[in-house]
């Protein structure tokens, strides 16, 4: 059941109506039923794997929670208070070992399901290539959104182990947290302590919030159907034939893909957050105008925020203080240099984190190389900071100018767009060859003269161009004044006029219709 299908629209209308008609104490149960229906439509096999993930998360967290409660109860009892300091430490250590074993087993099981389903063929292909073997691949079902719901559930297990949240005793509530359907397509990857504050709450119909949610859903559909799916035609043409479309065509493809990906991904997130808002559920923002970033590190603080913070909190920080890495850093300080040794843990943690980030995006080497390129440029940016600071101090007037801000923003945009060529071609060698052809094949006149021969008409360019300008204008207003819907809401009839026009625009200019197979959201594959 795609977000862009008529069936999904009907599904939402029925859900929204029932949600506010039934007794409020049953609202979360209705959401769980809706999740099951939505996921069943994506393939019943996926429900089996999701159920396994839920059971592992529920059982392990409750075992850890029970152990912690028993520990606290015993140590505060008369018998526990009679223990010596050493005995108390030994008792706590034994209980902690038990919880750690449960914790590790839960991670192995949950992540093992993800690894087996998503990366087995990747492993087999690499073994065949390295050792000239002929191992047969597997034909396993990859459940919808498995990377998203697995990471979400793993964060819950870790937070319980770290004693940040209490274990949920009701397995059906754990199931709702894991399977909340708007998040399954492309996130955001939510945390248990944040999402469940409103997910399990009772909600009265709030006209303003429902209106805001519907407006955001419409804006998401506009970006997806009018902009992203229209530009997809050109991107598919240019990237589908790298032997023909070289040089300037690669540059054009990268620019089209940057606009398509942003409209597709943020459009999907707008739909997700809008659905949640209509239901009274608060979901964190996943994008804060990333194309306004002035460097690669800032870009990743603005783009797919929930993914970035997940890897930072659960991979980078724990890894950077891991005993083996701290020991390695200490040796490097003595044997190489103090400065290098101090930075080594950050270097290693960053590289491993981005290697895993790339692998999370897809079981292919192009994603791994993409991740490592991000790591290299982020670390290079950190090394360049002292030079940049001196430059900014010396040329304060220049650095503070609007023109320099444009230069930094454009530089970052071109850099991340260059990395994404690996995503466009899905082959490392082909991607690098295509990238370097931009500087060696001087066919700019030919490329711009053939814009009408890559699947788009003049009308398509006009519609897509207006759509991109609208997205850019909204982003500029948000950057300067904050929430656009709040500004519009204060002007009485303006919200209804604007979003009636938006609806008409989607109906008239949306890339859909009889016989049209609407493209899935790009992040569906993850």
Cα 154 versus chain centre, distance = 15
Question: Per the structure block, which two tokens stand in for 135?
Answer: 């191992």
CA distance 411 to 422: 18
How many other CB atoms sit within 10 Å of the CB of residue 7? 10
Quote the tokens at residue 106: 């839960």
Q: Which residues of 296-316 are buried (b: 16+ CB within 10 A; e: fewer)?
A: bbbbbebbbbbbbbbbeebbb
Low-confidence ranges of the chain (pLDDT < 70): 1, 512-526
According to the model, what pLDDT value does residue 461 have? 94
The pLDDT of residue 513 is 44
pLDDT in tens, 92-148: 999 999 999 999 999 999 999 999 999 999 999 999 988 888 888 888 888 888 999
Residue 523 confidence (pLDDT):
55
CB 270 within 8 A of CB 217: yes
For residues 17 and 111, is the Cβ–Cβ distance under 8 A?
A: no
Residue found by looking up tokens 């659960």 in the block: 314
Token pair listed for 418: 């260059």
Q: Report the pLDDT value the prediction gives residue 301, as an integer from 0 to 100.
A: 95
CA dist 309 → 286, 301, 306, 338 (Å) = 10, 8, 5, 29
Q: CA distances (Å), 238 to each of 228, 248, 270, in order?
A: 15, 10, 28
Name the residue among 462, 476, 438, 425 with its Cα closest to residue 291: 476
Q: Classify residue 196 as exposed, middle or buried by CB count within 10 Å of its CB (0-12, 13-18, 19+).
A: buried
| DSSP conformation letters of 489-509 | HTTTTHHHHHHHHHHHHHHHH
Contact, 188 vs 286, CB < 8 A? yes
Percent of residues in the chain assigned helix, strand, coil, to nearest 5:
80, 0, 20
Give the other-Cβ count within 10 Å of 154's Cβ: 21
Residues 6+ apart with CB under 8 A from 270: 216, 217, 219, 220, 223
The b/e string for 507-524 (b: 16+ C-beta within 10 A; e otherwise) is eebbbbeeeeebbebbbb
Q: Cβ(127)–Cβ(133) under 8 Å?
A: yes
Per DSSP, the residues of 123-189 read HHHHHHHHH---PPP------TTHHHHHHHHHHHHHHHHTTSSPPP--HHHHHHHHH-GGGTTT---
Query: What local confidence, expressed as pLDDT, does residue 176 receive?
Result: 97
What's the pLDDT score for residue 104? Answer: 97
Contact (Cβ atoms closer than 8 angstroms) between residue 68 and residue 163: yes
Q: What is the pLDDT of residues 359-387, one digit of tens each?
A: 999 999 999 999 999 999 999 998 888 89
Average predicted confidence (pLDDT) for the chain:
91
- Give the single-character DSSP code of 520: P
pLDDT of 521? 59
User: pLDDT tens for residues 188-217?
Assistant: 999 999 999 999 999 999 998 999 999 999
Residues of 272-289 as b/e, b for ≥16 C-beta within 10 angstroms?
Answer: bbbbbbbbbbbbeebbee
């Amino acid at each position: 059941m795609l977000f862009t299908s008529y069936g999904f629209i009907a599904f939402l209308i029925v859900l929204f109506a029932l949600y506010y008609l039934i007794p409020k104490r049953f609202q979360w149960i209705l959401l769980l039923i809706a999740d099951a229906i939505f996921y069943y439509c994506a393939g019943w096999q996926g429900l089996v794997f999701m159920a396994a993930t839920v059971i592992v998360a529920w059982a392990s967290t409750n075992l850890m929670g029970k152990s912690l409660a028993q520990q606290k109860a015993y140590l505060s009892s008369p018998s526990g208070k009679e223990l010596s300091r050493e005995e108390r430490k030994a008792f706590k250590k034994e209980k902690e070992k038990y919880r750690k074993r449960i914790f590790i087993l839960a991670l192995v099981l949950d992540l093992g399901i993800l690894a087996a389903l998503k990366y087995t063929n990747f492993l087999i292909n690499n073994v065949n290539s390295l050792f000239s073997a002929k191992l047969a691949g597997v034909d396993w079902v990859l459940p919808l959104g498995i990377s998203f719901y697995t990471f979400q559930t793993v964060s819950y297990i870790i937070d319980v182990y770290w004693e940040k949240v209490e274990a949920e005793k009701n397995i059906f509530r754990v199931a709702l947290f894991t399977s909340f359907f708007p998040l399954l397509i492309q996130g955001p990857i939510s945390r248990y302590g944040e999402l469940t504050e409103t997910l399990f709450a009772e909600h009265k119909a709030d006209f303003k919030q429902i209106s805001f949610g519907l407006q955001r859903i419409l804006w998401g559909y506009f970006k997806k159907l009018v902009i992203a799916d229209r530009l997809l035609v050109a991107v598919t043409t240019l990237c589908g034939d790298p032997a023909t479309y070289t040089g300037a065509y690669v540059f054009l493809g990268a620019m089209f893909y940057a606009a398509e990906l942003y409209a597709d991904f943020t459009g999907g997130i707008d739909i997700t957050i809008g659905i949640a808002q209509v239901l009274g559920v608060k979901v964190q923002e996943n994008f804060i105008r990333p194309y306004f970033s002035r460097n690669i590190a800032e870009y990743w603080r603005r783009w797919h925020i929930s993914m970035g913070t997940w890897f930072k909190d659960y991979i980078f920080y724990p890894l950077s203080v891991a005993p083996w890495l701290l020991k390695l850093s200490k040796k490097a300080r003595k044997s190489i240099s103090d400065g290098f040794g101090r930075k080594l843990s950050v270097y290693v943690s960053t590289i491993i984190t981005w290697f895993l980030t790339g692998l999370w995006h897809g079981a292919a080497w192009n994603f791994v190389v993409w991740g490592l390129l991000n790591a290299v440029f982020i670390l290079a940016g950190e090394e360049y900071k002292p030079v940049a600071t001196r430059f900014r101090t010396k040329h304060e007037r220049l650095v503070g100018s609007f023109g320099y801000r444009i230069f930094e923003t454009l530089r970052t945009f071109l850099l991340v767009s260059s990395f994404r060529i690996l995503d466009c071609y899905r082959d490392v060698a082909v991607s690098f060859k295509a990238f370097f052809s931009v500087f060696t094949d001087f066919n700019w006149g030919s490329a711009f003269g053939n814009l009408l021969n890559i699947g788009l008409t003049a009308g398509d360019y006009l519609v897509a161009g207006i759509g991109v300008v609208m997205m850019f204008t909204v982003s500029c207003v948000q950057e300067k004044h904050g929430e656009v819907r709040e500004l519009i809401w204060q002007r009485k009839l303006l919200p209804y006029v604007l979003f009636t026009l938006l609806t008409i625009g989607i109906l008239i200019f949306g890339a859909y219709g009889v016989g049209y197979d609407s493209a899935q959201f790009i992040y569906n594959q993850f």
